[in-house]
């Protein structure tokens, strides 16, 4: 199986939020236990990681499932999951906008933006270039600075080399 490439742009502000949460949890731990701050760091890190994982796998479940299917090269079945992700975060734009805090997500891209790019990518892998182009153009209509969509369109327009 060929490993499917993925691009993950990281938002550094998300790391500030995440590590700030760890410090806050460790500080709170010193208030409810007889442990000092350093002793509370490991449990605080574990709690923050568990919270982050839980939030991303529950609130971002459609995106996660779509990515699992992409890793299995099941592009056709991944598309509906990305469509569900796009619909979910379109209804809850506030959640997508504040994902750094509410989901502890480190992704610089919004979930809606990721979903559209992933749908386009799936269509390109299925050999459906026109559908891929349509979705990449939708990405650029909503997110004009999306370099991933810009590069993908150039590759699609270049055709087989």
Q: Do residues 115 and 107 make contact, with C-beta atoms less than 8 angstroms apart?
A: no
pLDDT tens digits, 113-149: 999 999 999 999 999 999 999 999 999 999 999 999 9
Per-domain boundaries in the chain: 12-158
Q: Do residues 46 and 23 make contact, with C-beta atoms less than 8 angstroms apart?
A: no
pLDDT tens digits, 49-73: 898 888 888 889 999 999 999 999 9
Identify the pLDDT of residue 32: 82
Q: Which residue has the higher pLDDT, 99 or 113?
A: 113
Identify the pLDDT of residue 161: 46
DSSP label of 73:
T
CATH architecture for residues 12-158: Alpha Horseshoe (1.25)
**pTM (predicted TM-score):** 0.79
């Amino acid at each position: 199986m060929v490993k499917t490439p993925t691009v993950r742009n990281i938002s550094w502000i998300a790391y500030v939020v995440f590590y700030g949460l760890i410090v806050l949890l460790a500080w709170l731990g010193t208030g409810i236990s007889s442990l000092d701050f350093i002793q509370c760091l490991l449990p605080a890190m574990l709690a923050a990681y568990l919270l982050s994982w839980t939030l991303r796998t529950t609130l971002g479940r459609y995106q996660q499932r779509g990515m699992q299917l992409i890793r299995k090269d099941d592009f056709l079945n991944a598309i509906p999951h990305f469509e569900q992700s796009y619909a979910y975060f379109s209804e809850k734009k506030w959640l997508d906008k504040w994902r750094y805090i509410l989901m502890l997500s480190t992704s610089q891209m919004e979930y809606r933006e990721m979903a559209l790019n992933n749908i386009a990518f799936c269509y390109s892998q299925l050999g459906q270039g026109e559908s891929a182009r349509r979705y990449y153009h939708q990405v650029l209509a909503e997110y004009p600075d999306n370099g991933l969509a810009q590069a993908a369109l150039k590759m699609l327009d270049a055709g087989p080399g």
